[in-house]
């Protein structure tokens, strides 16, 4: 019942602090005989790692992952896979300000109130660095999915930065990897670039974002009533990411504005099985996948560590002010994209394995 | 690892189908010596039960709950509490249409694809009737909370029906119980009434809604990194409710549009501890409660069972049409309000007990 | 994390007290499309039910099980199966003695110390009646096993009553069902009969027993390191039965006396796969089944409710004496036989489903 | 649901193989503010580590533990504690024999049958080296117990080697640490020394053992019905240790031979609460601690890796013979003593935390 674990069949426990010796993920339940080595995981970590461009934190971390167990001669053995990333750029600095004051919008105050102790160096366990462990675990999940359901594709991208949204009519999946923002709309990406530069340099501010993650070619039948719904598990996974404040499946909050006729995706028979006239449902009905694309979105709040003066209190209860100097992401949502993809991969693998255990194989062929 | 269970310390397993002999909840982990009898639970069930006014389904269910175990001489014993609600209005009717066709927007097709069998009478386990068991379990949670943290108040209400939102400047908590919609804005309630009547009678349609649930006087320190965050658990709880497509904490999806200066709630010292200049965070930082109001919202999609003709397929894969005759909610979001409250109560009790087990008592007094 | 639940994939939560309105089991994770009705479960309950002969408690309970959910038209649906047994023979009597005094050897004192409240009527939740729910759940497990691995046979029997052991050279599996003791040695059964009659009538005493449960035709590959070992799960299951004080796998405690040469079962190749020269291991190596018979034994202590005077204390801490008048089993081990079988069935089904989820199919064919 | 994890509140996940780069334990749920450093854990690891005397394996491992997370400035933070032990003595040798043949009595064959892949170097995950991780986790548990219930003492010792038992009349707790066998009877220890030397040098054989673990000053009230019983959890913990084939609580299997009058421990009122005339129950009634000593025993089978020729088969199904050359324990039970202590510590801490979460504090004072 570890509160640092998620997943039923594919169980990931992340551990480690921002400024401790290392962090990582203990991954249990990966099927045996999956091809795996550190390089296959590293490729995903490289997408998330800091210091890659001027739009993310300037902390420099190699984020090199080592596989400490569970792999033998390039194949998983079915045993726990220990993934370890050593922290290298733990810049020595003066923490006295953070040590005694609580940063507004930060977990500083709640960790203190709950535990009576906190690792004040860089946020400890509440740091976004924890998500590196998720990305590593997601890398394992992807390799296992490749073996079980090789057609599944998972794609994440940013659809909104601050109040600037992409124009869906300009959606171009190739653009996603051609800008610093995982933005499928290259025009929007250009505007975001200018906006973020101003925000960072002039305004000493940060901004929120919305990320969308889509999984294609997911077989029908994944998920289970009523607390094992795959949409519930996706929501759980995404909401557990640092700074996430909202999660949507399919039409999400906008579903409230629809009528029944608008919302229900009509069904017809296609050459390969049921087809749907639309995907308001985000690929999930009754918590179980329909075979359509799984679609989710999540909102990431703006980084609270900013170069502006904010009112706060000290541990001894005195009113004071704080300004957070440091190497922080002006839009932490950018680096949340590979994290969202990784969480989606973990959820899908978990449900592929769970489904196999529950019903053996698809039970209800249509037609 | 039952997929029909939720909660770590206060564990609720719901069971039962819409048209079976009964449904209920097996509730484990309720502390001993909590005052409890069926009447204390019934009061909440009465709020959710169908057939109370013309805006909800006309199915008539007494929804009488019986306590089958775990209570002795009016007190809980610490043993599992079995709550059972017998189904009484299982109207015999012709199911042949539903039996062979899949209703668009329904779990019909996914249950069939996953299990190869489904209880087609009224949706079986995917029916909104399952939420009666949640409300009953929530009633137990409320009595236990009363003993552990008696100041906690949980309040749910509708803030949007279709695209019609309440006007927050007219927010009146007393209005909530004075209309059929749990609407805190009596002007909006009047408009919704007219709109829903038209939708039901003229348009043969249904509509979605957004519900907000607030918990007041929740102590600081509930929640735990990183997959035991109280916001994650709230999201999990709400997303597991039938027809929910999005969940928000605090500013939710709108947090994406904010800058860091706008979003971070500033802190000052008040007479009873830390105070915050605002509550964009929804009472949660780093997954742990701050002592502010916990605020969440969730969107409920429109009922897919409507009196309009829709395209679909049969089990044997033929294209056809369906029209769902029956006693369905034109806005199922209305009856989701007490369900949302119940889920919030379960999550809070769970975290009160978990916190006690984890750290004994609040560890970090401020000032 | 309900402490009244066991099983990973096939999860059983038992509920109910000895003298409440009912008791039962909430069973989740049964695969869909398993043939099931109440009669198929009742047959096993009838084997355990009290009052069948003079060697068990004279309490009369019909122990009729009702299926409240999860079965539709004679087939399981994959949804939770609620099994309910109403208590009928709750004889009204004077509980004042038990209410204020603690029976030596009983859970009276520990339930009081832990919970500060207890259902003193017949032991509440600590009563052996709780095992009826296990037997009912085991009935479901057996039907599911029949579908997945139809050759598996589970057989329980008593091998020792008090210090009187069976003679293994007289082992006759047909004898098991021809006496009141599930004894495979009809000569021993006759001696036990005489001994127990004397113990009950003359000595006003009770006695312990050892039960052996064997599962045949279990496929190789069930179980998982290192806390999901099938032997660990069998030990967990058996030790959780009321009054059990010891559990053995294969040679059990006697393995301590063996040397490595004596203990290790040699392997040779047979027509259908590996064969073993002996079965000291009880069919399990490294926590994973070998394909040999699974063999376990457990010891049941003597009933502490006896007609003899015993020293004890009252709730207010005064020294006193107690004599337990009532309808108690002189050897509760007898009725533990079907319980042991039921637990074995639950563990095996759980591992069949888990294995399917973990590795899809057997991975390592030999030869 | 990791099958490599145990514990509800204090959750330990062990990982790593005998001959991989490292092994360790991911420990979650340790309360914050517990004094902890590597030295406090190392002291226990040193008791288990190999190569300390001629009676255990001659493999030389420093077994140095590193704390990778969860501790800040010498105190636990409430975050996951990662304990890592690097493998240093991975002697390069010819594994061709083990790679293709299955050692009788070993997990070789079952791992192969289940996973279709196994790390044949030294047994991989089925090696007794896995228990080093348990001992490290137990070290954390001991420090937390020290803070919560400082009077608790845990003591393990060997009571039988082969068929040679200690004489309980010579029991001397100081002797335990004065011989290589954790033997509380120094006369027996001398005999065992001679016997084991002969077994190892002359007979090329190994032998089993029985270990007893006692916990003193455990408060009443730990444990919970009916699958959260503390005796069930002790059985689970001990049975999960490599090579364990039987577990007993209190009188254990011998309870079968007792009558009700002999078995039930009578109760009287002492100056500090209830006192018992004896401890047949091993300190547990109804799965909940009584305040008496917790007493358990477990049997460890003889090592199957012996220098004698044994019949077996190859992966391709041919009959053959094998002789296991290597550095193996002639009586692996010796090094199981600190492992048993560690498991007891983990179970007790888990129940201390669970009890606190369940009932806040002891509810039912007597007298």
Nearest by Cα to C247 from B331, D32, A293, D237: D237
Q: Do A1 and D8 touch (CB under 8 A)?
A: yes
Look at residue C361 in the predicted model and tell me its pLDDT. Answer: 65
Q: What are phi and psi of B201, to 5 degrees?
A: -85, -40
Is the CB of residue B360 less than 8 Å away from at least one CB of chain D? yes
Which among D2, D9, D118 has CB closest to A28?
Answer: D2
Distance (Å, rounded) from C-alpha C325 to C-alpha C47?
25
What pLDDT is recorded for position B29? 97
Cβ-Cβ contacts under 8 Å, C310 against chain D: 261, 264, 266
Grouping H, G, I as helix, E, B as strand and the rest as coil, residue A254 is: helix
Digit-coded pLDDT (tens) for C234-289:
999 999 999 999 999 999 999 999 999 999 999 999 998 999 999 999 999 999 99
Say which residue, B82 or D98, is predicted with more confidence: B82
Contact D136, D45 (CB under 8 A): yes
Q: Is C245 in Cβ contact with D252 (below 8 Å)? A: yes
DSSP structure class, residue A198? H
Cα gap B130→D182, rounded to integer Å: 57
d(CA B136, CA B37): 11
The answer to whether A359 contacts C1, with C-beta atoms less than 8 Å apart, is: no
SS3 C98: helix
CA atoms within 13 A on the CB side of B258: 23
Secondary structure (DSSP) of B79-112: SPEEEEEE---------HHHHHBPPTTSTHHHHH
pLDDT at residue D92 tops 60: no
- Between CA A102 and CA C219 the distance in angstroms is 58
Please tell me the predicted confidence (pLDDT) of residue C88. Answer: 86
Contacts of D29 in chain A (CB under 8 A): 1-3
d(C-alpha B226, C-alpha A5), whole Å: 8
Q: Which residues of A touch B270 (CB under 8 A)?
A: none
Beta strands per DSSP E along chain D: 5-6, 11-16, 22-28, 65-67, 71-72, 75-76, 81-86, 153-161, 164-165, 209-216, 244-249, 267-270, 273-276, 284-285, 288-289, 294-300, 310-313, 319-322
- In sequence order, the 6+-apart residues with CB closer than 8 A to the CB of C212 are C156, C157, C158, C159, C295, C296, C297
Counting every residue written for chain D, the total comes to 367
* Residues 302-321, chain C, touching D (beta carbon < 8 A): 302-306, 308, 310-313, 315-319
Mean pLDDT for all residues in chain D: 93
The answer to whether C115 contacts B16, with C-beta atoms less than 8 Å apart, is no
Question: If we measure between CA atoms, which residue out of D294, D319, D165, D303 comes closest to residue D238?
Answer: D294
Of C259, C286, C313, the CB nearest to D205: C259
Flag whether residue C86 sits within 8 Å of chain B, measured between CB atoms. no
Does the beta carbon of B123 lie under 8 angstroms from any beta carbon of chain C?
A: no
* SS3 call for D6: strand
Beta strands per DSSP E along chain A: 5-6, 11-16, 22-28, 65-67, 71-72, 75-76, 81-86, 153-161, 164-165, 209-216, 244-249, 267-270, 273-276, 284-285, 288-289, 294-300, 310-313, 319-322
Tell me if chain C has a CB within 8 Å of the CB of D55: no
CA distance A347 to chain B (A): 13
ipTM confidence: 0.96
Q: What's phi and psi for A268, nearest 5 deg?
A: -140, 165
Structure tokens at B70: 């775990």
B214 C-beta neighbours (distance < 10 Å), count: 21
Q: Label residue D93 by pLDDT band (50, 70, 90).
A: low
Q: Can you give the pLDDT of all 367 residues of chain C as single tens digits?
A: 899 999 999 999 999 999 899 999 999 999 999 999 999 999 999 998 777 777 777 667 789 999 999 999 999 999 999 999 999 876 656 677 788 999 999 999 999 999 999 888 878 899 989 999 999 999 999 999 999 999 999 999 999 999 999 999 999 999 999 999 999 999 999 999 999 999 999 999 999 999 999 999 999 999 999 999 999 999 999 999 999 999 999 999 999 999 999 999 999 999 989 999 999 999 999 999 999 999 999 999 998 878 889 999 999 999 999 987 766 789 999 999 999 999 999 999 999 999 999 998 656 777 7
Please, which chains are in contact with D (at least 3 CB pairs closer than 8 A)? Answer: A, B, C
pLDDT tens sequence for chain A (367 residues):
899 999 999 999 999 999 899 999 999 999 999 999 999 999 999 998 777 777 777 667 789 999 999 999 999 999 999 999 999 876 656 677 788 999 999 999 999 999 999 888 878 899 989 999 999 999 999 999 999 999 999 999 999 999 999 999 999 999 999 999 999 999 999 999 999 999 999 999 999 999 999 999 999 999 999 999 999 999 999 999 999 999 999 999 999 999 999 999 999 999 989 999 999 999 999 999 999 999 999 999 998 878 889 999 999 999 999 987 766 789 999 999 999 999 999 999 999 999 999 998 656 777 7
Of A1, A33, A79, the CB nearest to C1: A1
B127 touches chain C (CB under 8 A): no
- Alpha carbon A217 to its chain's center: 20
CB contact under 8 A, B366 and A255: no
Residue of D144, D147, D228, D358 for testing the chain B interface, max B β-carbons within 10 Å: D358
User: Which chain A residues are within 8 Å of D22, Cβ to Cβ?
Assistant: 68-69, 82
Interface contact B235-A253, CB threshold 8 A: no
Q: Is pTM beyond 0.95 here?
A: yes
Q: Are A207 and B260 in contact (CB under 8 A)?
A: yes
B90 near C CB under 8 A? no
Q: What pLDDT does residue A1 have?
A: 81
Residues D22 and D14 sit within 8 Å (Cβ to Cβ)? no
Contact of B99 with chain C, judged by CB distance below 8 Å, is answered with no
CB contact under 8 A, D29 and B358: yes
Which of the four pLDDT bands, split at 50, 70 and 90, describes residue B327? low
The answer to whether C169 touches D220, Cβ cutoff 8 Å, is no
> Which CB contacts under 8 angstroms, 24+ apart, belong to C49-53?
C49/C132, C50/C327, C50/C329, C50/C335, C53/C180
Tokens 């079995």 -> residue:
B82
Q: What's the maximum distance between 2 C-alpha atoms anywhere in chain B? A: 71
- Partner A contacted by B274 (CB < 8 A): yes
Rounded distance between C-alpha atoms, residue B256 and residue A201, angstroms: 20
- Which residue in B15, B246, B266 has the most chain A C-beta atoms within 10 A of its own C-beta, making it the best mutation to test that interface? B246
Mean predicted confidence (pLDDT) in B217-239: 97
Spell out a b/e string for B14-36, using b for 16 or more CB atoms within 10 Å of the CB, else e. Answer: bbbbbbbbbbbbbbbbbbbbbeb
The pLDDT assigned to A50 comes to 72
Calpha distance A226→A230 (Å, rounded): 10
Q: Which of A319-333, B47-61, C268-282, D83-97 has the highest mean pLDDT?
A: C268-282
pLDDT at B102 exceeding the cut of 90: yes
Q: Are the Cβ atoms of B226 and A206 closer than 8 angstroms?
A: no
Q: Is B147 on the interface with D (CB under 8 A)?
A: no
Contact at CB, C68 and B114, closer than 8 angstroms: no
Least Cα distance to B197 among B175, B183, B181, B182 occurs for B181
* pLDDT recorded at residue C325: 74
Question: Residue B201, class by beta-carbon neighbours within 10 Å (0-12 exposed, 13-18 middle, 19+ buried)?
Answer: exposed
Per-residue model confidence (pLDDT) at position A93: 65
Q: Above 80 in pLDDT, residue D287? A: yes
Whether residues D2 and A75 touch (CB distance < 8 A) is answered with: no
């Amino acid at each position: 019942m570890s509160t640092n674990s998620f997943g039923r069949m594919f169980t990931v426990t992340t551990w480690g602090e921002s400024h401790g010796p290392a962090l990582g993920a203990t991954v249990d339940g990966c099927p045996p005989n999956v091809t795996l080595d550190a390089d296959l995981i590293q490729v995903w970590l490289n997408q998330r790692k800091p210091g890659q461009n001027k739009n993310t934190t300037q902390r420099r971390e190699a984020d090199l992952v080592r596989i400490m167990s569970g792999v033998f001669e390039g194949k998983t053995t079915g045993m726990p896979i220990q993934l370890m990333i050593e922290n290298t750029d733990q810049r020595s600095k003066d923490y006295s300000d953070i040590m005694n004051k609580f940063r507004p919008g930060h977990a500083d105050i709640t960790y203190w109130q709950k535990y009576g102790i906190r690792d004040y160096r860089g946020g400890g366990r509440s740091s976004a660095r924890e998500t590196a462990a998720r990305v590593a675990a997601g890398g394992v999940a992807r390799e296992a999915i490749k073996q079980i359901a090789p057609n599944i594709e998972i794609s994440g991208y940013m659809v909104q930065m601050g109040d600037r949204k992409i124009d869906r009519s300009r959606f171009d999946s190739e653009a996603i990897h051609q800008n610093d923002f995982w933005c499928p709309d290259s025009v929007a990406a250009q505007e975001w670039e200018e906006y973020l530069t101003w925000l960072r340099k002039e305004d000493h501010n940060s901004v929120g974002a919305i990320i969308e993650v889509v999984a294609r070619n997911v077989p029908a039948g994944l998920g289970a009533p009523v607390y094992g719904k795959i949409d519930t598990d996706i929501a759980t996974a995404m909401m557990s990411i640092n700074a996430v404040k909202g999660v949507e499946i399919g039409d999400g909050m906008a579903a409230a504005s629809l009528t029944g006729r608008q919302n229900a995706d009509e069904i017809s028979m296609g050459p390969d099985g049921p087809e749907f006239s639309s995907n308001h449902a985000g690929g999930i009905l009754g918590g179980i996948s329909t075979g359509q694309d799984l679609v989710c979105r999540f909102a990431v709040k703006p980084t609270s560590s900013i170069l502006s003066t904010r009112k706060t209190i000290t541990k001894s209860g005195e009113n004071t002010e704080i300004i957070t100097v440091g190497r922080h992401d002006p839009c932490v949502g950018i680096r949340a994209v590979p994290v969202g993809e990784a969480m989606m991969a973990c959820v899908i693998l978990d449900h592929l394995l769970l489904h196999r255990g529950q019903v053996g194989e698809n039970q209800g062929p249509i037609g």
